[in-house]
Amino acid sequence: MTASATTLGPTRPSPLREFGASVATIMVKELRSRMRGRRAFVVLTAYLGLLALITYGVYVVVAPSASAQASFNGAFPGAANVSAIIGQSIFSLLSIFQLILVCFIAPGFTAGQISLEREKQTLDLLISTPLRPGAIVVGKLLAALAFVVLMIVAAIPITAIVLMYGGASVDDIVRQQLVLLATALGLGSIGLFYSALLKRTQAATVLTYITVLALTLGTVMLFIFWSVLLVRDDAG
């Protein structure tokens, strides 16, 4: 009678779970250093206060003309339309302000994620860990954009004020949040690309903002220039 003993070693986690754990490790490390202290909470409070002031300012500017129009019409449908105009004005201005802020903040948070590791001479130590390079990059990107996402999500209650006036629905708010998140992810990826390509944070930041300006203001100016040329061709 022979007995064969089989020894089972520790099971290796799946590649997807290992990748997720590595990303979570990088994010926890970065967020602990970023969210330490009161600066992040002071910035978030000031940001929400500024959005509240913008909302109140739009109401103060638009409400007098809206009241005059409602009293002139003297009918309930007219008052409903005026309320919708107020809601649309608040929603449009808040969306534009948040989009500009995301275009300005998101690249700045990611432009120094890897170049700073080079300047501090800690990149070699980070690479020598069992963490995969892809997990390091994704973790750095998500950790840098976590505060931007927090600012976007924290502004939802202020944006939801437009539901009280009308002119914008829940679907519009959801689409607004998706556009802001996609913009933050895209522009943040550009900053991380230059941070990995260049050795200096200052050079990476400058090239990142040049690229962002080319993609935003540059495309708008190109569209205006092309529209003017088309109008001249039609007139000629």
Question: Which tokens sit at 99?
Answer: 């989009």
Write the pLDDT tens digit of every residue in 52-61.
998 888 888 8
- Average pLDDT of the segment spanning 1-12: 51
pLDDT at 165: 81
What pLDDT, on the 0 to 100 scale, is given for residue 66?
64
What mean pLDDT is predicted for residues 146-167?
87
Q: Which carries the bigger pLDDT value, residue 131 or residue 198?
A: 198
Whose tokens are 């990303």? That residue is 23
Other CB atoms within 10 A of residue 233 CB:
8
Evaluate if residue 4 carries a pLDDT over 50: no
Average pLDDT estimate for 120-148: 81
193 or 232, higher pLDDT: 193
pLDDT value at position 175?
Answer: 93
User: Residue 178's CB: how many other CB atoms inside 10 A?
Assistant: 10
- Cα 161 from chain centroid? 21
Buried b (16+ CB within 10 A) or exposed e, 85-109: bbbbbbbebbbeebbebbbebbbbb
**pTM, entire model:** 0.79
pLDDT at residue 156 greater than cutoff 70:
yes
User: In angstroms, what CA-CA distances link 110 with 30, 92, 98, 103?
Assistant: 12, 28, 18, 12
